Amino acid sequence: MTYEEAVKALPSGESGSSTSVDKYLNSFIDYERKDDYSYSEEVFDLKRIELLLKKLGNPHKNLKVIHIAGSKGKGSVACFCASILKEAGFKTGLYTSPHLETFRERIRINDEFISNEDLVELIQIMKPHTEKIDALSFFEVYTALAFLYFQKKKVDMAVMEVGLGGRLDATNVINPLVCVITPISFEHTQKLGNTLASIAKEKSGIIKKKSVVVSSAQKKEALNVIKKTAKARDASVYVVGEGISYQQIESTDKGQVFSVTGILGKYAPLKINLLGEHQLINAATAVGTMEALGFNRIIIPKEAIKRGLSQARWPGRIEIVDSKPTIILDGAQNVASVQALAKTIKKCFSYHKLILILGVSKDKDMAGMAKILKPMADKIIITRANLSRAAEPDFLASFFDKDENIEITQSVEEAVGKARECAKDDDLILICGSLFVAGEARLLVRSQVGS
């Protein structure tokens, strides 16, 4: 299949694809953009991706992998880990989801996105097999693409983020060097369960026999499940807040300085560009993960940890994309992440008025998020991302008081335009509620400021 042939064969899909190859891949069922499905072994059947991978020669079986699950922070931890490994001299693959601007972001090696040419070549290899397997999802196909790409490019290490849950996730066909579980909070409750214990059970599904597990600080209910699962599988567990700790030294709108006392020693001073105390937890989790590689005789120098943390960039997480007025994007999409966002905004930023642009997915705790955000905002602009999972703006607006300064829009572009119209140079525009909203806004604002 040539690139031109791929282009001609592609069906149209929802927005978010930046290339025709992306649209072709988006022709597979995409559960990230849907909400009308059940989270069950019937829908998320690992036998499908196992069959596909077998036909491709099982490219995942010889990869050295760090596997990361959790409710929040797993993308940031993955980014920190990949950046450290790169600084340590490893050719490092990184697989994350969802994306902000292009599907190619999801598969990268040493910060370089997979190219269109590589995608076309891999599609040519995969297409005869995908056509013979019913009900393959976009995530299953893209996960197989990641494995195939990392094998082709002969990466030394791969860092892979779980998509949804863990136990039934397409990435859970690997036998990782380290299993990582970031903070667990209420999310996808219709799918994963309405208690922290039930959600933790799904996340802990990535823990393999005799593996090494690194966990972020957790609520007791979730941590009990992680430890119980690890014990049943004869796995060792190291936890931020127990064997691993951190201490903040300085925090500004430019970044944070801190120290970490890990399993094997102390690391100080460390610096990250990402804002918020929750990112210190994520960084400490990444440091613990790097130390845990030592149990597999992979030693990461302290200097590589220091450089890797300082070099890590993770867009869409309290990211400043413009000034006068200041525009901040964040993918906060549940109550816990919105709480962390609100705390960071109050601590690190000065402004006259805050204009909130909010759009969320249907399955989120809209009432809980609204309760946290509305006291911060002088004006609220409700919007929606361009996908079927997005909550209708009129419905989302019902979680705010009628006498509040609220405006309803039907697109992110319209919302950003309204915010710019009323914002003064010393105001702050905060765009949050969904990585899909943040991604659309990021593409738009960056085109406006020419970056």
* pLDDT tens, residue order, the chain (451 aa): 343 444 444 433 333 334 567 667 777 888 877 777 777 777 788 999 999 999 999 999 999 999 999 999 999 999 999 999 999 999 999 999 988 888 899 999 999 999 989 999 999 999 999 989 998 999 999 999 999 999 999 999 999 999 989 999 999 999 999 999 999 998 776 778 889 999 999 999 999 999 999 999 999 999 999 999 999 999 999 999 998 999 999 999 899 999 999 989 999 999 999 999 999 999 999 999 999 999 999 999 999 999 999 999 999 999 999 999 999 999 998 898 999 999 999 999 999 999 999 999 998 899 999 999 999 999 999 999 998 889 999 999 999 987 679 999 999 999 999 999 999 999 999 999 999 999 999 999 988 876 5
Same domain, 287 and 406: no
Number of domains in the chain: 2
Q: What is the CATH number of the domain that holds 362?
A: 3.90.190.20
Same domain, 383 and 414: yes
Looking at residue 22, what is its pLDDT? 64
Same domain, 282 and 345: no
Q: What is the CATH number of the domain that holds 268?
A: 3.40.1190.10
Looking at residue 44, what is its pLDDT? 84
59 preceded by a cis bond (ω within 30 of 0)? no
Where helices occur in 251-363 by DSSP H, the ranges are 277-292, 302-311, 335-348
Same domain, 392 and 303: no
Looking at residue 16, what is its pLDDT? 36
Q: Which of 291, 311, 331 is the last residue of a domain?
A: 311
Same domain, 406 and 302: no
Give the list of residues 6+ apart from residue 249 with CB closer than 8 angstroms, or none: 257, 258, 259, 268, 269
Looking at residue 27, what is its pLDDT? 79
Most distant CA pair in the chain, distance = 61
> What sign does the dihedral 219-315-141-59 (CA atoms) show?
negative
Same domain, 303 and 382: no
C-beta separation of 440 from 383 below 8 A: no
Owning domain of residue 386: 319-449
